[in-house]
Structure 1
Amino acid sequence: MPLTDTAARTAKPREKLYRVSDTLGLSLEITPNGSKLWRFRYRFAGKPKMISLGAYPSITLARARELRDAARSQVASGVDPSHHKQAQKRALEAATYTFEMLADEWHAYSAPRWAEATVQKARAYLDKDIIPAIGKRPVTEISRPDLVDLVRRVEGRGAMNVAGKVRQWLNQIFRFGLARGVVETNPATDLDVVAAHTPPARHHPHIPLAEIPELLDLLSSASCDVSTKIAIRLLLLTGARPGELRQAPWSEFDLDAAVWTVPAARMKARRPHIIPLPTQAVELLRAQHAITGRYVLAFAGKANTSRPLSENTVNKALSTIGYAGRQTGHGFRHLLSTELNSRGYNRDWIERQLAHSDKDEIRDTYNHAQYLEQRRGMMQAWADEVVQLCSKLDSSKNT
C-alpha cells in the first residue's frame, strides 16, 4: 500500500529503528529519537544500494516521490544515484571552499615545521598581498592568469623580493590543495617564467671592515633607542641572524658561561645552535638586561613588551645614520664570513658559527660537532679586532 501523509506524520518512534514502505523502493525511516528520514532502495550493477532523500517533514511525501523518480531515471540511464549525489556534494563544497580557507589550512599545517620568523613572514605575505586579492574566491575557480595578475601588482610597486616569495607561497599552497584533494590542478607552477626582470641586487649589502668603526661611532650618537644600538653591535660581534636575536628570550642566555643557546624550533635549519659570546657581547647583554631583564624577551618591543622589536628596526636605524643600501642587519653575517675566511680560520668553525647547513647533505647529517671552544677563540679574536679598530678611530679624533 502506498504511504499516506497522515501515516507519515503520525508514525511514532519505537525502541528500535524501523521503516514504513511507500512504493517503488521509497520508505520512511523512523529512528528511536523520533527523526524521520526518506530512504530509496535500488539495485545497481547487480548490488542492492540505498540513499537518503532528506528528512520529513522538510521533504514532503510528494517531494520524496519526485526525488525517488529522479533517482530511478538515473539508474535506468546507467548512473548510480549514490555517486551522483556525492559528486553534487563535492561540487557544492568546492563552490564554497575559498582560497583563504585553503591558505589558512596550509599555514596551520606548515607552521610547526618552520622557524618562528618564517611563520610570521608567510602570514604577513598572506594577509597583505595574497588573501586581499583572491582570498574570497572559490579555490577551484582561480586560474593562472589570476595569479600572474596578483604577482604583477606586487612587482608593480617595486617589491621584487616579495613577489618572489608570493610566487613561492602560492605554489606551495596549491600543492597542498592537490594533496588535500580540493583542487585538481596547480595554477601556480612556472610563475617564475613570466616574472618581471630585475637587475641583480645585493640582498644583504655590507660595508668593508675598515668602515665599521665610523659606523659604530655614528651609531653611538644616533637618536635611536639604546636597545637597537645594542642589537646592532651584537649582530656584528656574533654573526647571528637578526630574527634570532630579536625573538630571543632571556632564558636562552647564560651570561656567566658566556653562551647563547638557540633551540631548534627557532632556527632556520631546525637544529639547536650554541653561540659563544665574546666578553664584549656579554657586557652588551648585561647592559640590555638592565633595560629589559624584567621581561621574557631580551629585545622586547617598547609598545608591547610581549612582542619583539620590529623586523625593520635595525635596518631603519642603519639607514638613519647614512647606511641605506650599504649595510643591513643581515649584512653583518656576510662581513663576518668574508673576514674570518680571509684570516684562514677553519671553514667548519665559520659555517657552524653562522649556523649554515652543509651543502653536502650526508656530511651535514653526520657532522654535529659544535666546535664550541674553537669558535669561542675565533669570535673573541674578532671582537678584540673590532675594538682595536675603533680605538684607532678614537685616537685619530683626539689628535
Structure 2
Amino acid sequence: MRELAALYEERHLPSKSPASQRDDKSILRTIILPRLGSAKAASVRYADVEDLHRTLSQLTPYRANRVLALLSKMFSLALKWEIVTTNPAKGVRRNPEEARQRYLTAYELQRLLRQLVEHSNRTAADAVLLLLTGARRMEVLSATWAQFDLVEGVWTKPSASTKQRRLHRVPLSSPALEMLRERRADAPSSTVVFPGRDCETSITDIKRFWASVCQDAQIDGVRLHDLRHTFASTLVSDGANLPLIGSLLGHTQAQTTMRYAHLFDEPQRAAVERLGSSMMGVPGHQSN
C-alpha cells in the first residue's frame, strides 16, 4: 500500500488542485498508511476498508467518506495499472451528508465588514474581502498580480487554480478593485497579492484570523466557504438568474448552481403578488 500511495502521489496527485493535493496527502499520511501501509495492495479486502470506514465514522463521518473516496480512487487506478484485480472499496456505503449552506444576514455582513475594514492585519482582512466576490479560498490565497487587469477590472483565474481546471474570467466590483489597486500601490514589486512573512510567497491559511474576526463580529457557525454562498444569495436578492450566478461562481454544470434555486422562493412570491395585485386592479375584474 505504501508503494501504491507513492504511485498515486506521483502519477495522479499533480492533476488535482493544490488544496486537494494537501488534503489527500494528509489523509494518506495520518489515516490510510498508518492503518494499511504495510499490507499488500492485492490483499486488502472489502472488510478491511469497511472496518476502517466504520471506525472513522464514529467520530468524523464526513472525513470517513473522504478517506473512502480516496481509497476507491487509488484502487481504481491500481486496476488500470494492473496492480490489483478488484477494488475493495467498491460497494462500501458512505455516510449520509447534508448539504450545509449558511448565509450571512445583512446585519452580520455589516458587522463583518466593519471588522475587516478596521483590522490591523490588512493582508488577511483584504483576502477575506476578496472572498466576498464569490471566489474560493485557494483562488484568493494563491492569487498573483499577473491574473488581474486593474484597468479593465477583470480577474482571470488560471485553470491550475480553479476547481473545474478551467480558465475563469470574472469582472470585479468597484470596492474589490479599489482594494486591489491600493494593495498594488503599496507593494509594486510583489508578484503575489497576499504575501506571507517572507514577502515573496503567498499566505497559506487564514483560519485563525477568520475565527478571531467572527468572534469580534459576534458571528457564529460561519465558514470561509460560506462567504461564497452569501455572494450567491445576494445575487439572487438582486434579481440575478441561475445561469448568471453559475457563470460568476465558475460552475460548469447547471445542477451545481441549482442548490441556490430555493432562494428564489421569495422573489418569485413577490413577483406573483405584484401580478395578482395588477390583475385584481383591472377594471371589470370580479373576485369569487
TM-score normalised over the length of structure 2: 0.77
Aligned to 2:61: 160
Native 8 Å contact 2:183 2:193 kept in 1: yes
Relative contact order, higher structure (CA 8 A, sep 6+)? 2
Q: In the alignment, which of 160, 174, 184 is matched to residue 289 of structure 1?
A: 184
CA distance in 1, matches of 2:210, 2:57: 22
Shift in alpha-carbon separation, 1:205–1:345, aligned structure 2, 3 A: closer
Asked if 1:205 corresponds to 2:107, the answer is: no
Aligned to 2:122: 226
Over the matched positions of the two proteins, sequence identity in percent amounts to: 28
Alignment of 1:1-399 (within 5 A): 99-156=1-58, 158-193=59-94, 195=95, 200=98, 202=100, 204-221=101-118, 225-236=121-132, 238-289=133-184, 293-302=188-197, 305-310=200-205, 312-313=207-208, 315-321=210-216, 322-325=218-221, 327-359=222-254
Question: Where does the alignment leave 5 or more consecutive residues of structure 2 unmatched?
Answer: 257-288
CA distance in 1, matches of 2:123, 2:199: 14
Shift in alpha-carbon separation, 1:328–1:131, aligned structure 2, 3 A: same
Deviation at 1:313, TM superposition (A): 4.8
CA distance in 1, matches of 2:185, 2:212: 22
Deviation at 1:348, TM superposition (A): 2.4
CA distance in 1, matches of 2:50, 2:241: 46
Native 8 Å contact 1:262 1:273 kept in 2: yes
Native 8 Å contact 1:314 1:329 kept in 2: no
Shift in alpha-carbon separation, 1:276–1:201, aligned structure 2, 3 A: closer
Deviation at 1:229, TM superposition (A): 0.9
Deviation at 1:182, TM superposition (A): 0.9
Query: After superposition, what is the alpha-carbon deviation per residue over 1:173-202, rounded to whole angstroms, capped at 9, x for unaligned?
Result: 011111111112211112225x4x67x462
Shift in alpha-carbon separation, 1:219–1:308, aligned structure 2, 3 A: closer
CA distance in 1, matches of 2:71, 2:220: 31
- 1:333 maps to amino acid: R
Paired residue total: 255
Native 8 Å contact 1:240 1:354 kept in 2: yes
CA distance in 2, matches of 1:356, 1:180: 32
Question: Where does the alignment leave 5 or more consecutive residues of structure 1 unmatched?
Answer: 1-98, 362-399
Shift in alpha-carbon separation, 1:307–1:280, aligned structure 2, 3 A: closer
Query: After superposition, what is the alpha-carbon deviation per residue over 1:8-31, rounded to whole angstroms, capped at 9, x for unaligned?
Result: xxxxxxxxxxxxxxxxxxxxxxxx
Native 8 Å contact 1:252 1:261 kept in 2: yes
- 1:214 maps to amino acid: R
Deviation at 1:307, TM superposition (A): 4.5
Native 8 Å contact 1:206 1:328 kept in 2: no
CA distance in 2, matches of 1:234, 1:164: 31
Deviation at 1:245, TM superposition (A): 0.6
CA distance in 1, matches of 2:56, 2:215: 26
Shift in alpha-carbon separation, 1:360–1:160, aligned structure 2, 3 A: closer
Larger Rg: 1
Query: After superposition, what is the alpha-carbon deviation per residue over 1:48-90, rounded to whole angstroms, capped at 9, x for unaligned?
Result: xxxxxxxxxxxxxxxxxxxxxxxxxxxxxxxxxxxxxxxxxxx
Deviation at 1:314, TM superposition (A): 5.7
Deviation at 1:148, TM superposition (A): 2.8
Shift in alpha-carbon separation, 1:307–1:142, aligned structure 2, 3 A: farther
Could you say what the CA RMSD is over the residues aligned between the two structures, in angstroms?
2.7
Deviation at 1:272, TM superposition (A): 0.6
Shift in alpha-carbon separation, 1:290–1:142, aligned structure 2, 3 A: farther
More strand by share: 1
CA distance in 2, matches of 1:159, 1:334: 24
Shift in alpha-carbon separation, 1:139–1:252, aligned structure 2, 3 A: same
